[in-house]
Amino acid sequence: MIEVKGLTKFYGQKKAVDNLNFTINSGEIVGFLGPNGAGKSTTMNMLTGYLSATEGTAEIDGMDILDDPIEAKRHIGYMPEIPPLYMDMTVEEYLNFAAELKGVRASLKRRHIDEICETVSISHVRTRMIRNLSKGYKQRVGLAMALVGDPETLILDEPTVGLDPIQIIEIRNVIKALGRRRTIILSSHILSEVQAVCERVLVINNGVIVADDTPESLSANIAGNHKLDVQVAGPVGNVGSVLRSIDGVKSVVLRTDNGDGTGNFAIESAPNVDIRKPMFFRLAEAGYPILSLKPLDMSLEDIFVRLTAEEVETASGRKRRVQK
């Protein structure tokens, strides 16, 4: 488990991280998102003990990373965006070296490395020089290094950067499997990746947490009822005209013409205006029945842009951000 209380970091007069408070429970896979300069990397570096905090605490499985760094780091596996690989070593030499650094007992080391290589699917390249491996396999070796010592907590910074789609899917599946018995923080700019792997998302901007929820809840809370997906039976041109005539409707977009006399429309209303009842009656009067109606889900990318854009605007106006 990771518990952060009042975590703050100054660089001179600049406050890079501002009083962060959050808890990540055992077995959670949490996405950690933020634009460049938001304080994301600084926070991760403090969690791993690479940087000290100006104020506040960060505990890993009950151990303060600053007060007891040696013991706390035994419980952390860290994979930076660019893994610190030794190109003139073979994969096996590198993992043996990492095991010695992490104090893995000699009697257990061979079996431990065998299990790690099997987990990340690098057994067949363990005798090869690291410099001769592809980008994907180098990332796998970096992940294998983070697993040495069997840490309960994994902190992964952009683990799929530079990989092709097949390699991304493979690494994603490995991370999902690892999350069954570990706490994982996954930082990524590939928002679809976070959405596919993580059950919870933390979004940081201007040094503060601006969202902490599941991707599904974030979508529902931000989109609310003013963005709807509606399927209607009737000529799509006529249906679109009826929908646009309803008071409070801001935009109507035909998403799909299903070719069977029905169409799906994305409808946006003015904030705090519920158009569902007037839409029902207007379409019924026109003889166009509603076949389905549901909130229009926002992608994690939409959520990320909305949250960070709002925070930048309020920060420039020296106002506090108001959650919707």
CB atoms within 10 A of CB 223: 19
Query: Which domain-ending residue is among 220, 246, 272?
Result: 220
How many domains is the chain partitioned into structurally? Answer: 2
Q: Identify whether residues 113 and 158 lie together within a single domain.
A: yes
pLDDT along the chain (324 residues), means of 10: 93 92 91 86 90 92 88 90 92 96 91 94 95 91 94 90 82 86 85 83 90 78 72 96 94 92 92 88 96 78 71 44 41
The one-letter code for the residue type at 51 is L
If you search the block for the tokens 């491996």, which residue do you land on?
133
pLDDT of amino acid 323: 40
**305 in any annotated domain:** no
**In the chain, which ranges are E strands?**
2-11, 14-24, 29-33, 55-60, 63-64, 76-79, 153-157, 183-187, 200-205, 208-213, 227-233, 249-257, 262-269, 290-295
pLDDT in tens, 104-157: 999 999 999 999 999 988 999 999 999 999 888 999 999 999 999 999 999 998
Query: Which domain-ending residue is among 220, 237, 262?
Result: 220
Q: Identify whether residues 32 and 81 lie together within a single domain.
A: yes
**309 in any annotated domain:** no
Q: Identify whether residues 211 and 237 lie together within a single domain.
A: no
Q: Identify whether residues 86 and 198 lie together within a single domain.
A: yes
Contacts of 205 (CB under 8 A, 6+ apart): 34, 35, 38, 307, 308, 311, 312
**307 in any annotated domain:** no
Sign of the dihedral defined by the CA atoms of residues 96, 126, 121, 108, in that order: negative
Q: Identify whether residues 118 and 253 lie together within a single domain.
A: no
**What's the gap between Cα 253 and its chain centre?**
29
**88 in any annotated domain:** yes
Q: Identify whether residues 244 and 204 lie together within a single domain.
A: no
Show the tokens assigned to 239: 């249906």
Measure the CA–CA gap between 70 and 74, rounded to whole angstroms: 7
Give the CATH number, domain containing residue 16.
3.40.50.300
**136 in any annotated domain:** yes
pLDDT of amino acid 38: 85
Show the tokens assigned to 29: 């896979």
Q: Identify whether residues 74 and 210 lie together within a single domain.
A: yes
Show the tokens assigned to 75: 């419980």
**40 in any annotated domain:** yes
Instruction: Provide the pairing of β-strand 183-187 with 14-24.
Output: unpaired
Give the CATH number, domain containing residue 278.
3.30.70.3100
Q: Identify whether residues 254 and 189 lie together within a single domain.
A: no
Q: Identify whether residues 287 and 161 lie together within a single domain.
A: no
What is the residue range of 141's domain?
A: 2-220
Which residues lie across from 63 on neighbouring strands? 60
pLDDT of amino acid 320: 42
pLDDT of amino acid 316: 42
Q: Are 10 and 18 in contact (CB under 8 A)?
A: no
pLDDT in tens, 264-291: 999 988 877 889 999 999 999 999 999 9
pLDDT of amino acid 223: 58
pLDDT of amino acid 315: 45
Q: Identify whether residues 111 and 202 lie together within a single domain.
A: yes
CB atoms within 10 A of CB 90: 16
Single out the residue of 242, 264, 244 nearest to residue 254, CA to CA: 264
Q: Identify whether residues 138 and 33 lie together within a single domain.
A: yes
Show the tokens assigned to 70: 């040696």
**320 in any annotated domain:** no
**115 in any annotated domain:** yes
Give the chain's mean pLDDT: 87
pLDDT in tens, 238-248: 999 999 999 99
Instruction: Provide the pairing of β-strand 76-79 with 29-33.
Output: unpaired
Q: Identify whether residues 80 and 194 lie together within a single domain.
A: yes
